[in-house]
Amino acid sequence: MELRQIRYFLKAKELLNFTEAANHLFISQSTLSQQIKQLEDELGIPLFNRIGKRISLTEAGIVFAKYAEKSLLKSQEGFLAMQDLKGSKSGELNIGVTYGMRSTMISALIRFSKEYPGVRVNIVFATTSELLDQLHHIKLDFILTFAEGNRVELFNYTPLFTSPMVLVTAKSSAFIHHKSISLETIAELPLAMPTKGYSTTRYIMKAFEENNLEPKILIEINDIPALLELVKSGNWSSILAQTTITEKDDLVTIPIEGENMIRTAMVISLKDAYEKQSMRNFYQYLKVK
C-alpha cells in the first residue's frame, strides 16, 4: 500500500467521481482507476460500488476512509517533522561530556538553546572510555572530551581548542604566586586525583612515569565536584585541565611546566553515521569563545 494510492482513494471518496478526482490529481482516469483497483486487491475487498459512471463507498470503504485519513495526516506530520529537523527546530541531541568539558558544554548549550528552543538535549557525564563505549553503541550522538592516545578508526575526531594542564590548589597554598610549577615539585605534594578511569589521570600519570617520578596520590575519587571541595580544604592539591576550573570554583590554578602539558579538546562522533543538522549547529557554538 502506497501513500499515493491513499491520496487517490480519498479524493475519489470526496468527489464520488473518478473523472473529476483524476482531474484534481492531474492524472488520467485510467491511472486513478488502476491504482484504486490495486488497493482493493491488496485489501481483498471492494471500497467502491461502481454503478455505471456513478460510484459510492461500500461499507468497507467507509471504514477504511477513517484510517486512510489518519494515515495521510500522520504522514504529513512526519514530513513536517523532518523539515523541522533539517532546520533544527525540533528533534533530540544526546551528548556525552567529560567533566573537564563541563563549562564549555554549558556555555554552548545556553547559546544553542536560545536559538533552537525546540531541540531536546540529553547530557551524560562520564569518563572518556565510558562515553566512547556509549557512542560505539549509538546511545550518544557525539561526545566532548580531551583526546589522547591512539585514534580509533571507528570515530571522527574534530579538534576544538587546547587547554594547559594545571596544578589546582587552595587560595591558602604557598604556591599561589607561582606563574608555573614543575612536575618534580608537584610530586612532593599530597594529591587528590580523579580515579584511573579518567583520561586526565592517565595522561598525567604517564607524564610522571616518563620523568621517573612517583607522585603522592593520597586520594582517588570518581566525582570531580567532591574532588574540588577536598582541594579547597588546603590539605590536598590536584591536577586537571585548565578548562575544568571556573571562577565559581574559587580555586587557584598554576600551569605545569613541560612540552606535553597541553591537551586538545575534541568532538568525537561515530564515523559514517548520519549527522543531524542540530549536531552541526551545536558544533558552531562550541567553537565560539
pLDDT in tens, 136-163: 888 899 999 987 666 778 899 999 989 9
Contacts 24+ apart (CB under 8 A), 217-222: 217/191, 217/192, 217/193, 218/190, 218/191, 218/192, 219/191, 219/192, 219/193, 220/192, 220/193, 220/194, 220/195, 220/196, 221/192, 221/193, 221/194, 221/195, 222/194, 222/195, 222/197, 222/198
pLDDT surpasses 60 at 289: no
Q: What angle do CA 70, 75, 77 make, to 5 degrees?
A: 95
Main-chain phi, psi angles of 7, to 5 degrees: -65, -40
Q: How far is CA 73 from CA 3, 10, 86, 90, 113, in A?
A: 11, 12, 20, 19, 29
DSSP letters spanning 248-285: GG--EEEEBPSTT-EEEEEEEEETTS---HHHHHHHHH
Model-level pTM? 0.68
pLDDT at 171: 92
pLDDT at 105: 93
pLDDT at 44: 94
Bridge partner residues of 168 (DSSP): 238, 253
pLDDT at 148: 65
Instruction: In whole angstroms, give the CA distance from residue 198 to residue 118.
Output: 33
What are the grid coordinates assigned to 27, written together?
Answer: 492524472
b/e per residue 217-241 (b: at least 16 CB within 10 A): bebebeebeebbebbbeeebbbbbb
pLDDT at 45: 93
11-49 per-position pLDDT tens digit: 999 999 999 999 999 999 999 999 999 999 999 999 999
Bridge partner residues of 181 (DSSP): 256
Contacts 24+ apart (CB under 8 A), 129-137: 129/197, 129/199, 130/197, 131/96, 131/97, 131/98, 132/268, 134/96, 135/96, 135/268, 135/269, 135/270, 136/270
